Amino acid sequence: MKLLVLNGPNLNLLGQREPDLYGHETLADIENTLRRQALDNGIEIDFLQTNHEGELIERIHAARQESDAIIINPAAWSHTSVALLDALNAFEGQVVEVHLSNIHKREAFRHHSYISARADGVIAGLGSFGYQAAMEFLLR
């Protein structure tokens, strides 16, 4: 399996940004944990974090030929982006949506995610374990 892990805007600040909500681990910490989990399970893994919506969309387009499954934390674009939903609707593999925080316990504008209309599974509020749980789901 070739797994693609995508992270949206401001997640490059993990560890510094609102740690009470998003934790103290850096994105590099999270990616390193996932890299080890992937190695232990014999799967290829690739990562992209971007603050540019078009770059994320174009990486999803490329994944149509390159990746078997996607784990995505769309961050704020969860709540705004039909374009990102449309890109994921053009991807035929499994998609798991991850949110570090429980978006349903937060501001009302975070309660809806456009991406959930495409996701095969949605994980929210488990912190960085959500990414690991998503990989376990895809490996089952």
- For residue 103, the number of C-alpha atoms closer than 13 Å in the C-beta half-sphere is 21
- How far the first Cα of the chain sits from its last, in Å, is 12
User: Which residues in 63-92 contact ligand DHK (CB under 6 A)?
Assistant: 73, 75-76, 78
User: Total residues at the site for ligand DHK (CB under 6 A)?
Assistant: 10
Closer residue to ligand DHK in complex, CB, 59/99:
99
**Nearest alpha carbon to residue 131 among 79, 70, 78, 41:** 70
Q: Does 7 bind ligand DHK (CB under 6 A)?
A: no
Is residue 62 within 8 A of residue 4, CB to CB? The reply is no
Closer residue to ligand DHK in complex, CB, 11/87:
11
* Cα 6 to Cα 97: distance, rounded to the nearest angstrom: 10
User: Which residues in 93-132 contact ligand DHK (CB under 6 A)?
Assistant: 99-101, 103, 110
Closer residue to ligand DHK in complex, CB, 48/76:
76
Annotated binding site for substrate: 73, 79, 86, 100-101, 110
